Amino acid sequence: MESELQKRGLVSLELTSPIWERFYMASPLVIVGTLEEDGAPDLAPKHMVTPLGWDNYVGFVCSPSHATYLNAVRNGEFTLSFPRPGGVISASMAAAPRCGEDHKPSLDLLETFQATQVRGPLVADCYLHLECTLHGTWDVFGLNSLVAGSVVAAHVSEDGVRRPDRDDGEVVAEEPLLVYLPPGRYARVSDTQAFPFHRGMKL
């Protein structure tokens, strides 16, 4: 007999392995900037990045064995650079593997500049940059950890700033967003519509 889930066109996934590569979800694509122990910049793309509450906290998921995690914990700070759609190659280059002497040659090709309030690199030609001090880490998500930061400086492109005299749709049209669709696709978002909020409703 057909189940209610089948009638609704739903497939139940096995939970014996991670489910996240069995479907698509929209995520930001962000380059996390930290400093190595010798002061060299390290850049790594992350897509599990989100605001943490309504105050100025933000977090990303990372393995505690990765240089990004180790650098953020050691230095107590990190940066987040949000590439434009045309910057997807920059994010890909930041993901290149390390080679001899634990160095990423591809990082030498990325233009960066110094953050203003923390020690760390910001990636050029991004529409949004956040500078963060470490708020805490939570090593309780299997092999991964949540790294949380307090935003101490934020920089947005002029075209990407929301203002009372600008239509929100025009803001996104003039400064399109890069959206990552794990496990391996991306999209350019420029056409948006206002959400039909019910009276008193907030997200």
Rg, the chain, Cα only: 19
Pick the closest to residue 35 from 83, 95, 106, 107 (CA basis).
107
Q: What is the mean pLDDT of each run of 10 residues along the chain (203 residues)?
A: 87 95 96 94 94 98 96 98 89 65 65 95 96 98 97 97 95 96 95 91 77
Other Cβ atoms closer than 10 A to 25: 10
Token pair listed for 128: 């949004």
Mean pLDDT of the chain: 92
Kindly report, residue by residue over 2-53, the tens digit of the pLDDT. 789 999 999 999 999 999 999 999 999 999 999 999 998 999 999 999 999 9
**Is beta strand 121-123 parallel, antiparallel or unpaired with respect to 112-114?**
antiparallel
* Domain 24-189 of CATH type 3.40.50.11540: no
**Exposure string (b/e) for 100-129, b if CB count within 10 Å is 16 or more?**
eeeebebbeebebeebeebbbbbbeebbbb
Q: Are 94 and 42 within 8 A, CB to CB?
A: no
Domain boundaries along the sequence of the chain: 24-189
What's the predicted TM-score (pTM) here? 0.91
